[in-house]
A and B are shown apart, each in its own frame.
Chain A
């Protein structure tokens, strides 16, 4: 492994300067530096794609496309300096394209497919219920509402950051988020009341 990559692996690359150096190294053709960027941001991209698309296979396809786009556009990313915002924006666009290519019914067919991680069977069941509720409630939202809610409430972006990722205004995003929260609240109420 290159010294730069070793150093950044050890430090966790929290420093923006480190990140800029890694982006520069990756742009110069250092695949290990690019792998480091990939490791740093894979959770962000894959988790967002999973919530937007509803199943892991499609999310992996989308995430792969996002990282290949990142590799081709390292120069732009280096200039903009905000890799995270760029990745959210591209992930959302790739997932929207994916939706357009595939009908909604097949996109979220395998909702709740992630295997449980809890040792306690009761806990595992509860986790599975929550995941199922999450996936089903996301299905009931429009594409824009779902994206706004995923970025704001699940990924924790600010309203301004969501607006930037969606190419929209903060007022529009707030409206989408509020509608999405109301729909989600009603669905979650209904879901757990029916099961209790």
Chain B
């Protein structure tokens, strides 16, 4: 090609992308320049080749896979609230267990704890101007009253299904 300055304009001409005045100008040039006509034919030919290659169908399996992936992802994004629903009764049961059962078991152990021995020497407080308040006599620790044997604890778990109620009786 002898007219490199026409290359890009001819490339646009081939695809019909030139404004009308430039289109006419390019027409006139092509009419008198054989190498540019050949170049223009080459542009059209290469465009035809790539268009025909692009228009060939993509395998249907690729679309099926794409659809499945997208819909699966959307379904997964919707799922969490329902998937976590079972946690609510479980947490409720755990809270009930902690509040009702554990205090009963821990209470007797607490009574067995003896107070630490009194120090041999009372620590001497530094001299200050503040009035010294008399110490209160230590309180006698109350012994817990012996309890009557507790009734067996029963936890009732209510599920979403009205026909299903779970009773739990811990030892």
Question: Which residues of chain A are within 8 angstroms of B54 by Cβ–Cβ distance?
Answer: 47, 51, 134, 154
Q: How many residues on B have C-beta within 8 angstroms of the other chain's C-beta atoms?
A: 35
Tell me the chain B residues, 26-73 only, with Cβ under 8 Å from chain A: 39, 42-43, 45-47, 49-54, 56-59, 62-63, 65-67, 69-71, 73
* Contact present for B43 and A60 (CB under 8 Å): no
Query: Which secondary structure dominates chain B's binding surface?
Result: helix
User: Is A133 in the interface zone, CB < 8 Å from B?
Assistant: yes
Most-contacted residue by chain B among A64, A159, A189 (CB, 10 A):
A64
Query: Which secondary structure dominates chain A's binding surface?
Result: helix
Contact A117-B66, Cβ < 8 Å, known A153-B51, A188-B45 = no
User: Is A46 in the interface zone, CB < 8 Å from B?
Assistant: yes
Q: How many residues on A have C-beta within 8 angstroms of the other chain's C-beta atoms?
A: 43
User: Is B95 in the interface zone, CB < 8 Å from A?
Assistant: no
Question: Which residues of chain B are within 8 angstroms of A68 by Cβ–Cβ distance?
Answer: 70, 73-74
* Contact present for B49 and A38 (CB under 8 Å): no
Contact A174-B17, Cβ < 8 Å, known A56-B62, A114-B59, A133-B49 = yes
Partner of A42, one of B12, B52, B67, B75: B67
Question: Which residues of chain A are within 8 angstroms of B14 by Cβ–Cβ distance?
Answer: 181
Contact A38-B67, Cβ < 8 Å, known A47-B58, A134-B49, A189-B42 = yes
Question: Which residues of chain A are within 8 angstroms of B42 by Cβ–Cβ distance?
Answer: 185, 188-189
Residue of B nearest to A32 (CB): B71
- Distance of B25 from chain A, by nearest CB (Å): 15
- Distance of B129 from chain A, by nearest CB (Å): 72
Residue of A nearest to B59 (CB): A115
- Distance of B92 from chain A, by nearest CB (Å): 30
* Contact present for A38 and B50 (CB under 8 Å): no
Partner of A60, one of B11, B53, B57, B65: B65
- Distance of A23 from chain B, by nearest CB (Å): 15
Partner of B46, one of A51, A63, A177, A185: A185
* Contact present for B66 and A63 (CB under 8 Å): yes
Question: Which residues of chain A are within 8 angstroms of B45 by Cβ–Cβ distance?
Answer: 185, 188
Question: Which residues of chain A are within 8 angstroms of B74 by Cβ–Cβ distance?
Answer: 31, 34, 68, 71
Most-contacted residue by chain B among A34, A137, A178 (CB, 10 A):
A178
Alpha-carbon gap, A56 to B56, bound state (A): 14
Q: Which 8 residue pairs spanning A and B have beta carbons closest together? A: A188-B46, A178-B8, A181-B11, A134-B53, A130-B53, A154-B54, A178-B11, A185-B46
Measured CB to CB, the residues of B under 8 A from A are 7-9, 11-12, 14-15, 17, 39, 42-43, 45-47, 49-54, 56-59, 62-63, 65-67, 69-71, 73-75
Measured CB to CB, the residues of A under 8 A from B are 31, 34-35, 38-39, 42-43, 46-47, 50-51, 56, 60, 63-64, 67-68, 71, 114-115, 117, 127, 130-131, 133-134, 137, 152-154, 159, 174-175, 177-179, 181-182, 184-185, 187-189
